[in-house]
Chain A
Amino acid sequence: MSFETLRPSPALKEFLPIEYKDLVDHGPYGKNKKVSDMGKFKEIIEEHPMCAGCAMTLFIRLMYIGMPNPEHTIVVGTAGCGRLALSQASVPFVYGNYGDTNAVASGLKRGLDIRFPNQFKDIVVCAGDGGLVDIGFQGLMHSWFRHEKFATVLLDNEVYGNTGGQESGMTNKGKVLKMSPRGKKDDKMDMLGLAKVAKLDYIARLAPTNPARVARTIRRAILIAREFGATYVQAYTSCNIEYSIPTPDVMKDAFEIEKDRYGFEEIISDRAKEYLKDLEAKAKAAKKAKK
């Protein structure tokens, strides 16, 4: 339905801005674009006002490519650097109060299920470590334990970037930042551990070192959330400004941090594995039938 609504009538088309026409003709809606297609299609996000070289923007760009049905997706965000890019995308973006994302998404998803009984509407919460783990902790936890049917993507830059570099619950112990003048006293919060306790069907931690893997992770998180409820992706998205990473070295930092401590971890429940296998088989069969 949405894909149809975006297609203008032929008479109107010529009067629309080129941006819009490009999205209709060369956008990813209903087309299942891959990372390897980058540069060959009109992406959901192109411009943004974030700092030059910020790894978070790369991650967000890949996140949109990973969406299985961007034409039926709504992103819920909150205050923080990420929303500067999220609000420029051609996927609707809900911006409420700081830290309210997972409560808003709970209501939104339930409402959309009622209004569109026969169409999956994917909700993706995408917010910072301060927004999700500190101020939004309660909402995050309860949405997990209620197994609300949406994916949560944590942009973990290990700092309050947007307010100028204060330590957060996700900052590492000992790190000197604004508001931790003697070094952070406590450990980085173990959100993956909490996700396991909540028995989420899909949990992943990664750095944006492998673009195809980022897109695949997001895709899995969204597909599994549709079926079984809450999923969690935690992505290291360095803040080059507050961590003084020279812009040309941002990716080098991502590789190093991934190797040293962040790693890649993916925990999929048995039923979710079965479901993914089933989807893959169906996709293969459909491809074969097409041939």
Chain B
Amino acid sequence: MSNLDFVAEGKPADWVPLGETQTVVDPMEMFFKLPRKTEFITGSEAARESIRRMNVDVAIAYPITPQSETMQQAGYLYDEGYIKDFYRGEEEIGVMSACSGASRAGVRTLTATSGPGLMRGMEAISSWPGARVPIVLMDMCRVINTPLAIQPDNIEMSFMLNTGMLLLHAEDQQDFYDYPLVAAIVSEKVDVTLPCAVSVDGFFVTHARGQVSMTPKEYKLPPRDGWASAVPAMDNENPPARLSRDAPIQKSNFISYHMHSSWQQEVFAAVERSAKYFDKYLGGLIEIINPDAEEFLVASGAAVSQSREAVRQEGEAGRKVGMIKIKSIRPWPMRELVAALKNAKRIMVPEFNQAGWLHKELCSTLYGRTTGTMIGGPRVYGGMTMPTEMILEWLADARKKQL
């Protein structure tokens, strides 16, 4: 008898989990060398194919639109044997807490949520980085209530900015296939050991189809190495001392402020250390179009696709507009952005949220480092779409007003 017997529960005796038939490949091989085939699929389907290749040990789910489709697909992947353990948790605090437990055991852990679910799980999520638990969190953005709505809006990402979470923002279905795989690998690097959220704008990407080029499903990422992490797993495989992982922090009634501040410093230093890995696996933290332009659109997520089209149409009209896609929000590509925008005369930041969190991030980075004008917008929220014309109009308006 083995503790793993539950994996095959209810299956015939000769059942082979399909995950066991996959071949492990080096991440660089998977990301850049294996042949790829393109399919026209939804973002949720792209997420499923990503999870299939992620070599997930434990996936814990709780339904919420527009995420549900992905985690129920994860359920089917578990049934087929691509994931070792899967269950529907009690609600998001329970799910996010259980994820921290699973990751503390040293196994690869996955969950996904959206807007209100992220908010409900936030107490647990915000304590993941301090607990140094690698976890992949797929975040399909939607409006945060109230009034009740389920439409796309990425305001929820702003709540993760200062937690110590790694945070990627997928533009389209292709990114939502690629980024979670990268997230799994980077979050488990010993000098990182942090959770990573991959956000995507709900519905626009999750429920719409796009071209996704994928490696053969016969290949998967290497498993998590539970012995390699910045802090040891909670497995009682380390010599006992009268302190546990948390004990330097919880040694007496209250922790020493010195200990807590250095622990926090280390978490945020680990975020910075992750940049070199994302740079390698994502082919850069940012993507630049027309680097020598004077006008720039700077965006992340679905706003990038709209910006691309605006850049194309401006090009047709004979005007060269530059564009920067920010792939990684945390680590924040400060150096890359400063270098790319130092000669820009006008920087416009289209966003899918009311607060303009990306604009604020960019302003604090570029303050005193550019003479260009920062324009916060256009912005849509509450479920609105952002027609390309809107960006073009804002550009025309800014030119007219000589902003």
A→B interface (CB under 8 Å):
1-2, 5-6, 8, 19-20, 23, 29, 47, 49, 71-74, 76, 83-84, 87-97, 100, 103-121, 138-139, 141-142, 146
Contact = CB atoms under 8 A, between A and B. Distances in A.
B103 A1 contact: no
B87 interface: yes
A111 B107 contact: yes
Interface string B83-114: 01101011101110111111111110100000
Contact of B236 (A87, A92, A139): A92
Contacts of B91: 138
A146 B107 CA distance: 21
B102 A107 contact: yes
Contacts of B240: 6, 23, 29, 90-92
B251 interface: yes
Nearest to B86: A110
Contact of B239 (A5, A87, A112, A139): A5
A144 to B, nearest CB: 11
A138 B246 CA distance: 25
Given A92-B234, A94-B104, A142-B90, A111 B109 contact: yes
Interface in B147-199: none
Given A84-B252, A90-B240, A103-B94, A120 B103 contact: no
Contacts of B106: 111, 115
Contacts, number: 173
A117 B1 CA distance: 9
B127 to A, nearest CB: 6
A205 B60 CA distance: 32
Contacts of A120: 3
B97 A103 contact: yes
Interface in B206-243: 226, 233-243
Contacts of B49: none
B264 interface: no
B93 A115 contact: no
B244 interface: yes
Contact of B235 (A89, A90, A105, A115): A115
Given A108-B101, A117-B4, 6 more contacts: A84-B253, A87-B244, A90-B242, A94-B101, A103-B93, A103-B95
A106 B89 CA distance: 10
B53 to A, nearest CB: 18
B242 A142 contact: no
Nearest to B252: A49
